[in-house]
Amino acid sequence: MDGRTAVKVALDSCVVIDVLNGRHAAVASALKGERVVLVLCETVLREVRRVRGVEPGETARLVGARLGRRVETVGSTPGHRTVARSLSCRLLHCHAGDDMIVAACIDLSCILITSDRKLLDVCGMVGVTARRPRGRRGR
């Protein structure tokens, strides 16, 4: 151990789907040189299951294996829901799902990796550090 504290990095569903599709070089590059624990929120895991049909446990296993990082899954808490409602009321372009991801990032002090331009904007407004996977443009 080198004594550095691991940085928690949450992945948005668009990034997770890219990783599952084999397009994970940009994400791996964004994590390079950092001691990272990946965080997958319940909201992201549900969205991936809806879009790709991959169960949450399998999603976490595949993401961890492809990125070579430990993965933690995080359920939605009452605190996350309260913060998410507040975000949705204050920021009209923060839609359901994104508000829960941002709330979890606030609670867990995570950096968020996303390709979603609106989500990047919301993070900037509420003080959550967010970045795009390297080499990707926002949608």
> Could you tell me the pLDDT band of residue 137, with boundaries at 50, 70 and 90?
very low
pLDDT band at residue 52 using 50, 70 and 90 as cut-offs: very high
Q: Tell me what the pLDDT averaged over the chain comes to.
A: 83
Count of C-beta atoms within a 10 Å radius of residue 111: 19
Domains of the chain: 7-131 (3.40.50.1010)
Give counts: helices (H), strands (E), the chain.
7, 5
Q: How far apart, in whole angstroms, are the C-alpha atoms of residue 12 and residue 120?
A: 11
What pLDDT is attached to residue 99?
A: 80
Residue pair 48/60 in contact by the 8 Å Cβ criterion: no
Proportion of the chain above pLDDT 70, given as a percent: 79
Buried b (16+ CB within 10 A) or exposed e, 68-89: ebebeebeeeeebeebbeebbe
What's the pTM value of the predicted model, to 2 decimals? 0.84
Q: Which residue has the higher pLDDT, 52 or 121?
A: 52
